[in-house]
Amino acid sequence: MKSLHLFWITLIMTLLCAGDATAQIVPMASINTTCGEHSFLNLYLNDPDNGVLHTLKDNCLKTHQFASLNSSNTMAVFVEWLQDQDHNPVPPINVRVYSLGTKTLTTIRTIEGSGVAYFDSQDRIVFIDEGILKRMDASGNNVEVLLAPNDSFRYSMLWISPGRQKIVAAESKWLSQNYYTDYYFRLVIMNADGTDPMVLTEPCRGDWDSLAWRPDLDGFLFYYHEFNGLGGEDHEAYPKYKAFEFSAGSVQINDLSNSDLGKEGNVLVYTQCGTLLSLTYQELYDAKTGSFLSDASSFFPSLSESLFSSFEGVGISFADPDGSNFRRFECGVITAAIDVKPGSDSNCVNLGSAGVIPVAVLSSNNFDATQIDPATVSLAGASIKLVAKSGRFLAHREDVNGDGLLDLVCQVLTEDFFLEPGESTALFEAETFNGIQVRGEDSVCIVPDK
């Protein structure tokens, strides 16, 4: 527990220091659609405060990760290489450093490695070379070995945590030349300097895809493929999604593969609300169960039309292709259908009645209204009636429009109801239990107080 406490203090210090930077530079990427069937990322550093977009890479050299900035925002590092028709890397694999001051790119080292390099919290570059975790300074010199895997594994990928204190690595090995029958990997977590490695998973016949850290650092979601172990035409690869949670010194692994999010190619990131946002399908899911919460396409732009970032520490952000219109995504706002006085078209509210008026929030195939937290509901400024004795809010689940989907019916206090004279639209606002904002509106008529 003590080391965990120190870890948090270090992290908070790191975040405070990062906040002192004059302008935040955001590593961003866009999908290069001219590169054929496999998506290659163009890489950028966006300086929205000064309206400057630095282009690091806009060609079909493959890159797995966003560029990683040093702590003073003066340099960024990334790895790039060509690949052959079978997607095998063609040497050289280059570690490239971009200087924001001179706007120049330099190859600082050629490696036999994987497409990943990060600045650590001391502004040294952590990378994989010859299957080994190494570290060097920003000029590519003073290379030191941090950690070599056991049991003839080799490192094939690293993901650094927000705050850059922890690394999760994929260790891989081939038992024969056949990828689908004899390629294995497992996950290992360690400190960013390679100390205290701990194997998280048994070796699995398959390959890794993506990893998303939780903003609270207490876990991550891992997406990979498991092979059926057959070669040739009979090989199959199944998408797997596993949520890792660290608590009280142990690791819990929750398999979400059979939930709503368990679709092919579903690249997911955690939002500030702790839900999971699909970058691929523009959908939101419950992070604990993987169940579908809402369609996100109304508030979440398509990746193919924007610059995006979901890199360690910066959250989810977007910009137009030229870097302008920069915005951060936190939780999203769902627009829901509202029916004041369900089943009645008049929707008249008697403000003098000192009673309640029912308002239904309708579920759809893209939204589950029963996920709304009754404590957060307001209609035209009025909240839900609280049953004093039980402390419960007057709200219940009912399919009011007969479409087979349970809706949420709330009893809203009319005495708090407020509309400007002449106004006939009541705004409904609430949040889901996951903190996603829900908005809707319905027309009302006001019956004057007698």
Question: Please, what is the minimum distance in Å from the beta carbon of residue 290 to Ca ion?
Answer: 23
Tell me whether residue 256 or residue 384 sits nearer to Ca ion (CB atom).
Answer: 384
- Helix (H) / strand (E) element for 7: namely helix 2-19
Query: Using CB under 5 A, which of 217, 237, 405, 419 touches Ca ion?
Result: 405
**What is the distance between the terminal CA atoms of the chain, rounded to a whole angstrom?**
65
Tell me whether residue 130 or residue 403 sits nearer to Ca ion (CB atom).
Answer: 403
Q: Which residue has the tokens 């429009």?
A: 401
Strand segments (E) across 266-313: 268-270, 276-278, 283-285, 292-295, 307-309
Question: Please, what is the minimum distance in Å from the beta carbon of residue 342 to Ca ion?
Answer: 6
Question: Please, what is the minimum distance in Å from the beta carbon of residue 339 to Ca ion?
Answer: 5
Query: Using CB under 5 A, which of 64, 173, 225, 341 touches Ca ion?
Result: 341
Cα torsion angle, 328, 331, 336, 342, sign? negative
Of 166, 155, 80, the closest CA to residue 120 belongs to 166
Tokens found for residue 11: 């992290």
Instruction: Give the span between the Cα atoms of 445 and 300, in whole angstroms.
Output: 34
Tell me whether residue 257 or residue 370 sits nearer to Ca ion (CB atom).
Answer: 370
Query: Per-residue string for binding with Ca ion, 345-384, x by CB under 5 A?
Result: --x-------------------------------------
Tell me whether residue 167 or residue 361 sits nearer to Ca ion (CB atom).
Answer: 361
Of residues 96-135, those binding Ca ion (CB under 5 A): none
Cα torsion angle, 101, 102, 108, 114, sign? positive
By the rule CB under 5 A, 291 interacts with Ca ion: no
Tell me whether residue 242 or residue 341 sits nearer to Ca ion (CB atom).
Answer: 341
SS3 374: helix
Question: Please, what is the minimum distance in Å from the beta carbon of residue 444 to Ca ion?
Answer: 9
- DSSP structure class, residue 96: E
Which stretch, 15-23, 58-66, 120-128, 341-349, contacts Ca ion (CB under 5 A)?
341-349
Total number of residues shown for the chain: 450
By the rule CB under 5 A, 399 interacts with Ca ion: yes
Question: Please, what is the minimum distance in Å from the beta carbon of residue 409 to Ca ion?
Answer: 10
Cα angle 46, 48, 52 (rounded to 5 degrees) comes to 60
Whether residue 267 contacts residue 281, with contact meaning beta carbons closer than 8 Å, is answered with: no
Which stretch, 13-21, 86-94, 379-387, 400-408, contacts Ca ion (CB under 5 A)?
400-408
Residues that bind Ca ion (CB under 5 A): 339-341, 344, 347, 399, 401, 403, 405, 407
